[in-house]
Amino acid sequence: MSTSSVRAAELAVIGEVYTSTTLWPSMQTLCDDYDGRFVGSDNERNAAAYIAEQLRRYGLSNVHTEAFDIHGWERGEATLIANGHPLQCIGLPGTPPCDLTAPLINLGAGEPADFAKAGKTAKGKIVLVRSVGSHRLEKYARSVKAGCVGFVFAGPDLGSLPHTGSIDFGGAAPLPGVGIAQETYLRLERMLALGSVSVALNVQARLFPTQGLNVIGDIVPAGADSLSGDYLLLCAHYDGHDIAQGAVDNATGTVAVMEAARALMQVRDQLNIGIRVALWSGEEVGMIGSGAYAVQHKAELKRLRLVFNCDIVSNPGPLWMGINGVDIERVTQFFRELADGAGTHSQVHALQITGNEMIVPYSDHFPFYMQGVPALMVATPHGQHPGMGPHTPADTLDKVNVHGLRTSTAFVARALLHLAHDPAPLPTRQASKAEVQTTLKEAGYDVLLKAQGRWKF
């Protein structure tokens, strides 16, 4: 049970978050001054410098940036002409340039059954799919395997704006891809109902080698000089897409981590293990930054007790948490009890937790889970603006729910305070290579990871 001093520290942390005068200015700075923060861009590099400066101001130790190599991508013009009708589209990050004409085939959700039904008829076609069901990259991998020559991707909601999302397969996307609005998808669907549709697809893009930057800092227990023993990792990605401010995805997660770190620095005397803070770049093109860190710091990972990843944490509604690893029952129960104590007016009161039955290989906790480290992702997935959310040009500052962001941040800070004070609920061991491999195969992700060159077993 919490001691009175820990309870006092908890109340102090909550007060710091809810009365913060830095939370919203940080959101404004990331969104207005460093628009998009696309990896490899000037905005990304300037945002990294700003984040590092803030962490130093908050008193964190060992604040620095770490560079990693990445296949850079820069957007150019993209056009899609269907049976002579020009339609709006945008290039998907990682797409190679192209100038091609081919028949269009609509495979709906683009699930395995859809491709199986199409059979060999998909070969040589430009495939049209929607963002429902499995992840974009899974649909893309199926399109590559089916021999398609182009990939047209639409958002899931009525009224959705053109959707973006990386199709980077290690810097060598095998076929060009564009994103379209939901109405454009419906129009193409109507055209196909009347007969065959020929699509002329022209995409301009520049591919080049560059580097991204991760920002690292440490919260060390009072009296300690460094993060020498066991530690927790609190993280989020600060990069976004180049078509919007990247406000909800993921300036919210970035600011939640920065604010939680600032609050936790005020109660270091209650910490018995340290907390490393990491703001990653390259998440939107394949978790490149966090993946590079997990490889470069592999020797340290045996001391890492838990990865706590914040990805989209301002939407109203229940907080969702996915926890992956072995021996996770105690920490799962800990989070449930922490949420129950948050009060009935808190969005975390209805905390939804899943375990290994739901693996999410599309955010920055996943590279650590691949190494066997217990890892979780926390998110508020239900936005107020269907069709105008993350991965669209409408991911802007006005979509951020400030109360939701403060509530999520307070929960994150409380959780890290208690776990760093008393690590007893944490998993006592990491998953073996065989255990991770089996879990991923059971979840059906081995095919995708192999196609991406990320299957390390």
Spatial distance between the Cα atoms of 349 and 34, rounded to a whole number of angstroms: 34
Asked if residue 2 has pLDDT above 70, the reply is no
Answer yes or no: do 165 and 263 share one domain: no
Answer yes or no: do 418 and 287 share one domain: yes
Average pLDDT on 263-286 reads 96
Q: Which of 206, 221, 250 is the last residue of a domain?
A: 206
Average pLDDT on 146-155 reads 96
Spatial distance between the Cα atoms of 83 and 199, rounded to a whole number of angstroms: 6
Mean of per-residue pLDDT scores for the chain:
93
Which pLDDT belongs to residue 356? 85
Average pLDDT on 59-83 reads 96
Q: Which domain holds residue 167?
A: 76-206
Answer yes or no: do 362 and 426 share one domain: yes
Residue 249 contacts by C-beta under 8 Å, 6 or more apart in sequence? Answer: 240, 311, 312, 389, 390, 391, 395
Q: Considering only 59-68, 157-166, 254-263, 416-425, which range has the smallest mean pLDDT?
A: 157-166
Reported as a pLDDT band with limits 50, 70 and 90, residue 404 is: very high
In this predicted model, what pLDDT tens digit does every residue of 376-385 receive, in sequence order?
Answer: 999 998 766 6
Spatial distance between the Cα atoms of 163 and 95, rounded to a whole number of angstroms: 14
Is residue 8, in this structure, part of any structural domain at all?
yes
Reported as a pLDDT band with limits 50, 70 and 90, residue 347 is: low
The beta strands (E) that lie in 340-393 are given as 352-354, 375-379
Which pLDDT belongs to residue 357? 83
Spatial distance between the Cα atoms of 18 and 259, rounded to a whole number of angstroms: 10
How many structural domains are present in the chain? 2
Answer yes or no: do 389 and 243 share one domain: yes
Q: Which of 136, 171, 206 is the last residue of a domain?
A: 206
Is residue 456, in this structure, part of any structural domain at all?
no
Beta strand 126-130 pairing with 98-106: parallel
CATH code, 160:
3.50.30.30
Closest CA to 448 of 179, 140, 94: 140
> What number of residues does the chain have?
457
Beta strand 85-87 pairing with 61-82: antiparallel
Beta strand 98-106 pairing with 198-219: antiparallel
Which pLDDT belongs to residue 1? 41
Q: Which residues pair with 126 in a beta bridge?
A: 104, 150
Which pLDDT belongs to residue 82? 98
Which pLDDT belongs to residue 171? 66
Is residue 248, in this structure, part of any structural domain at all?
yes
Reported as a pLDDT band with limits 50, 70 and 90, residue 457 is: confident
Answer yes or no: do 58 and 161 share one domain: no
Answer yes or no: do 29 and 103 share one domain: no
Reported as a pLDDT band with limits 50, 70 and 90, residue 259 is: very high
The pair phi, psi for residue 146, each rounded to 5°, is -80, -5
Q: What is the CA radius of gyration of the chain?
A: 22
Rounded alpha-carbon distances, angstroms, from residue 172 to 6, 97, 348, 450: 51, 12, 41, 14
